Each structure stands twice: as C-alpha cells, then as structure tokens.
Structure 1
Amino acid sequence: MELLNDMALFVEVVKARGFRGAAEATGVPNSTLSRRIGALEKAIGLRLLHRTTRKVELTEAGQVYFERCKRIVDEARLAHEQLGDMLAQPSGVLRVSMPVDFATIYMAPLIAEFAAKYPGITFDFDVTPRQVDLVREPYDVAIRMGEPESSNLIARPLASLSTRLFASPRYLERAGTPVEPQELEAHECLNILKASTWMLHRKTESIQVATRSRFTINSVGLIRSLAAQGMGILLVPEKVVVDDLATGRLVPVLPAWRGQSTSVHALTETRLLPAKTQRFIEFFKERLAHV
C-alpha cells in the first residue's frame, strides 16, 4: 500500500511538473514529496527525475516508470470507485431470521423502504420462533430479542424497547385495578415463556414483582390476544398494543411504571460482513433507534 501511495505521488509530481504544484494538488508538504520520491528512486535503483530550481523533468527511465505507474494508479482508482459503487448498491440474496411478532410489528413497515433503497437485494426471511444455527445454516443475520445467549456470535445492538403494563377493561372489572406494583402478585400476569418476575421502574425507584400465570407462551401476538379477551395483564412495548389501545380493548395499568427494556440485537457469525448485510444492519439500527 505504501508503494502504491508513493507511485501515486510520483505521478502527481510529474503531472504538476514540480513539487510545489504537486504539494498544492495533494496537500502533502513539498519536503515530504521530495523525500518520498527520493526513497522511491533509491528503492528501484534508478534516477527518475532531473530536478531544477523551477521544475522537474523525467529521465529516460523515469518516462518508462511514469507510464507504468500511471496505468497502475488509474486502475487502482477505478477499482476503488467500483468497490464504492458495490457498497452503495449491494446485491445478492439476504437471508434473515427474526421473531415473527417483531418482524410483523417493527420490521415489516421498514422492509419495503429498505427494499426500495437497495433494488439489487433479494430476500429470504425465516420468521419462525426457531433459533437458527448461523454457523451451520446459510443465514446472513439473525434478529433476536433479549440478551444474546451465545458468546460465539457477534452481537450488534439494534434497539431497546421500553415496556408498559396493559389489560382489558373486562379483566380489571373482574379482578380489580392494581394501584401499586406489589398488587400484581395477586393477578394473572401473562408472561413470555417462563418469566416469573417483572422488574418495574418509576423515575429512580425500582421494584421486583413475583408473577404467576396459567400460560407459558412464546408468542407476543398470542399474549396480546389473550389480554384483549380479558385473560390477564401483560407487559409489552406500547407499539405492540397500539391498535388495542385505540379501540379500547386494552388500557394502561400502573401508567407511572415502566418495565425492564427489551434489547434487540443483530447476530452474525463474523465481523467481516458483505455489503448487503452491513447495509441491512445499519439501516435498521438507524430506523429502530427511537422506537
């Protein structure tokens, strides 16, 4: 790389017919240019330039070297530009695994925008709860909620989802409306999987509440539906239940309190990512930053 840089500087000196003009064109100090060209001549064992007080002229060997350097430098610049174009407009099949509820609620409205921005990319989405194996299966990235379990994967944070408590008016009429977090221990609390406690926060105050439920569920959509039918209280991001709030099927519970935020990560097998995967992660990290 250093040799290529010196060759590029040599080309600029010749084109400017002197070190001063080349210094103005490149921003490299005159003395540095002279030293670098001198080192280049020493390395190849040939004098490339006749130096005078006003200008420089090519030696016979310098003319041959200049023509070859110019071709090499021009090809390198073209390759750099083409690589830039590839990064700007990546292509190929992007294989993504993500939870169905998160995909439907958060990702779907943004996927169309991403697809329009990068028309060269085609998509293969797996939206089942199954935990794909990024090492053995041909997926480029997996979107996962909660803290990553495997330290063998590269985890890049995408979002942090604030959670709140909601229930249906029918459930609250039947079971009563809690006014303090501790009262939740006497209620049916609809949990994701086997969570047995909720950590709630109000300003600088925090409290951990033991919860109970008749249901063990791995679907946010199903929990939301059960809550709307009066089966209990749920703790989810507000965006998950925005339609139910608008229709009155669900209402806030303990509105001054928030639950523990749920983190969302993009998991990859390696840090060296193709352009299509880089752009996907960058795009959704930007769009999901304020959800």
Structure 2
Amino acid sequence: MEYLNDMALFVEVVKKRGFRGAAESLDMPNSTLSRRISGLEKSIGLRLLHRTTRRIELTEAGQLYYERCKRIVEEARLAHEQLGEMLARPSGLLRASLPVDFANIYLAPLIAEFSREYPGIHFDFDLTPHQADLISDPVDVVIRMGEPPDSNLIARKLASLKRGFYASPGYLDVAGEPEHPAELVNHECLRMRGPDAGRWTLTSEKRSEQVAVGGRFEVNSVGMLRRLASLDLGIALLPDGIAAQDVASGSLRRVLPQWQAPPVPVYALTETRLLPAKTQRFIEFLRERLDCA
C-alpha cells in the first residue's frame, strides 16, 4: 500500500527535523518529499506538521501518528534486516550505555571475547551512571544495575550479583570488627546514594535484619565505594566480584561473612522486543557469561 511508504517518509522527516535533511538522507528531491507528505495529510484528513521557513513542528495529530508509525517502520526494517542476517553474521555499529564500574570490572573482558567472536560488529560505548534515553539518544541497549524503573522499555534480566560487606585491615585494626549486624551502627559505613542509603538489609540463611547505618560518605559510584574502603575509611557494601581483586591483594577483607545483602539485579533495557541480530547476540552473550557471576 502506498501510504505505508509515505509513513516511512513521514518518520524520516520527523527524525531529521525537517524536509531538507530527510530528503538528503532518502536521496529524494525535497519537492517530491514535501508533495508526498502533503498527500499523506490529505488522505488522512488531518494536518500532521506545522511548516515554517526554518523548521517543522508536529501537530497533536502528528505526534500521535509519529508514535505509531515509527514502531511500524522500525519493525518492517528489522524484518528485512533479520532475514538478511540469516545469510550473514551480525555486523554494524552497536551502541550501548553501560554503568562505569560494572563495565570496567565485569563487562570489559566479556566485551573483548564478544568482539573476537563477531569481528563484523563495531562498538560505541557510553559509560555513565545515568539512565540513557532510548527514545532520543542514539543507543541500541542500556545495561543497568538495580531494578529498572517502570516504563515502556523492555527489560531483560542478565544476572543477579551477590553482595557482601568489606573493609580494609587498617580500618578494622582501629575500629574493631563487627560480629553482628547491630554493631554496624557504631561504624563508619560507606553508602551508595539512594532511598535506602541509611538502612542496610542483611540476610543469613533464613534470617533477615535491617540496620540503620550512617557515616560521612555517600556516593553514586560503586568504584568509589571500593576505593574509599581500601583507604581505611569504613565498611562498604559491594558486589563480591567488584571486591574480589582487593580481597586477593589483601587491601580489603570480608566482614560479617555469615551475612550478605540481597543480590543486585542487572538488566538490559531496549525500546522494542524486535532487535537487530547484533543487539540480540550481545544481550544473549552477556546473559550466558554473567549467569555465573
């Protein structure tokens, strides 16, 4: 149907924020593109775009139509791409947003292995603690620690990271080593910023306790917590894998070894369930490798 092609043209105009950029991207005369969009509006019976000499703006009807059309156009594109990928190995540019410390410690060796297995894929990684916007940012997949926010995004669980309590021998020599969770109230606790920063939950077999904790340091970086703990500044709640290297070197020691915190989940977030092969393989690969983390 002709209007399906016009829907794709309309989506490109909105994405490029104007007819000129869209026409160049589509290798189509600007006048032809404008005429096709006008014909689309006429067939629908509603104006989709406010046109000025400098830019275009979506009408209310145009915004609704764009939200529906972009998914249809993307799914059609992926259908063609996935059929083609049945005959070829995944390739292209994979753009991912990754949490800084988790990427450096857990993901870097896995990414190296993945890149060797799929030499046709190129990578563009944005390492940030903040949630990327999959709608407006040029990102294929977002990897995040913690429960995902309620949204329209598709969340795929990759792993659950075990967590424990760690401090340096120097700190423990001065402050003493806690033998029960209740004793944490007397210690300098290095806390991750968030609504639960002042309260830690500890579990041991079938027991569970919540303890109010405090201290001078509250940060938004797991790597910073690990570093502060190794510098004798307090007790930190850390994923075991992130603390492992410092434990092996002797700069950190597990405290309250019979107790642990609830594991922190790791998710891959995407805008749609229909993914190009490069993104699907990347998510599947991480899920397989992180399952034993």
Q: TM-score, normalised by structure 2?
A: 0.69
Is the 2:82–2:277 Cα contact (8 Å) retained in structure 1?
no
Aligned Cα root-mean-square deviation (Å): 1.6
Distance change in 2, residues 1:135/1:81 (3 Å): closer
Within the alignment, does 1:179 sit opposite 2:172 as a pair?
no
Q: Which residue of 2 aligns with 1:274?
A: 276
1:221: Cα distance to partner? Answer: 1.2
Shift of residue 213 of structure 1?
2.1
Which residue is equivalent to 1:17?
none
Matched, 1:230 2:254: no
1:283 — aligned with what?
285
> Counterparts in 2 of 1:173-212, with a 5 A limit?
173-194=173-194, 195-212=197-214
Please name the residue that 1:154 is paired with: 154
What are the residue-to-residue correspondences of 1:86-105 with 2, within 5 Å?
A: 86=88, 89-105=89-105
Distance 1:209 1:118, change over 3 A: same
Aligned to 2:86, what secondary structure does the other structure show? helix
- Partners of 2:134 and 2:141 within 8 A in 1: yes
Q: Of the candidates 70, 84, 87, which is equivalent to residue 85 of structure 1?
A: 87
| Residue number in structure 1 paired with 2:61 | none
Q: Which moved more, 1:213-222 or 1:201-210?
A: 213-222
CA deviation vs aligned residue, 1:30-82 (integer Å, no higher than 9, x gap): xxxxxxxxxxxxxxxxxxxxxxxxxxxxxxxxxxxxxxxxxxxxxxxxx9985
Q: Is the 8 A contact 2:189 2:215 kept in 1?
A: yes
Q: Compared with structure 1, are the counterparts of its residues 118 and 80 closer, same or farther at alpha carbon in structure 2 (3 Å cutoff)?
A: closer
Which runs of no fewer than 5 residues in structure 2 stay unpaired? 1-80
Unaligned runs of 5+ in 1: 1-78
Distance (whole Å) between structure 2 residues aligned to residue 273 and residue 236 of structure 1:
33
State how far apart, in whole Å, the 2-side matches of 1:253 and 1:129 are. 27
User: For residues 126-152 of structure 1, what are the alpha-carbon distances to aligned partners after superposition, in whole Å with 9 as ceiling and x for unaligned?
Assistant: 012232111111100000000001322
SS of the residue 1:119 aligns to: coil
2:87 aligned counterpart, secondary structure: helix
Aligned match of 2:131 = 131
| Residue identity matched to 1:186 | N
Question: 1:219 deviation in Å?
Answer: 1.1
Q: Deviations over 1:153-176 (max 9, x none)?
A: 110000000101110111111111
Which has more radius of gyration? 1
TM-score, normalised to structure 1, is 0.70
Q: Counterpart of 1:251?
A: 253
Matched, 1:119 2:112: no
**Contact 2:91/2:122 (8 A) holds in 1:** yes
One-letter amino acid matched to 1:121: I
Q: How many residues align?
A: 211
User: For the residues of structure 1 that align with 2:287 and 2:99, how far apart are their CA atoms?
Assistant: 16
Which range is displaced more, 174-183 or 189-198? 189-198
Q: 1:264 aligns with which of 257, 266, 275?
A: 266
Q: Which residue of 2 aligns with 1:219?
A: 221
Q: 1:252 offset after TM fit, Å?
A: 1.0
Closer/same/farther in 2, CA of residues 221 and 80 from structure 1, 3 Å limit: closer
Using the TM superposition, name which of 168-177 and 136-145 deviates more.
168-177
